[in-house]
């Protein structure tokens, strides 16, 4: 399964493919793959989220 994050509200979902409409904000959103593909966070198949890709809105404001 892939971890997907809604780029509008930040909702996380695990699915093979992302939905067309976010189940949280009910908007048609672009979903970003935030799955871990590197050894530092567990690698492929771990089900972990890559902290280098997953940025919360508060962290965006700090940059």
pLDDT at residue 45, rounded to an integer: 82
pLDDT at residue 1, rounded to an integer: 84
The pLDDT tens digits of the residues spanning 10-60 come to 999 999 999 999 999 999 999 999 998 888 888 888 888 888 877 655 444
pLDDT at residue 55, rounded to an integer: 67
CA–CA distance, 61 with 63 (Å, rounded to integer): 6
DSSP classification of residue 49:
B
pLDDT at residue 56, rounded to an integer: 58
CA–CA distance, 25 with 43 (Å, rounded to integer): 30
pLDDT of 62 > 70? The answer is: no
- The residues facing 15 across adjacent strands are 2
Give the global pTM. Answer: 0.74
């Amino acid at each position: 399964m892939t971890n997907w994050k809604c780029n509008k509200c930040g909702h996380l979902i695990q699915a093979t493919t992302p939905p067309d409409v976010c189940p949280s904000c009910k908007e048609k959103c672009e979903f970003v793959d935030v799955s871990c593909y590197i050894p530092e966070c567990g690698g492929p198949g771990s089900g972990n989220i890559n902290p280098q890709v997953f940025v919360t809105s508060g962290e965006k404001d700090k940059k």
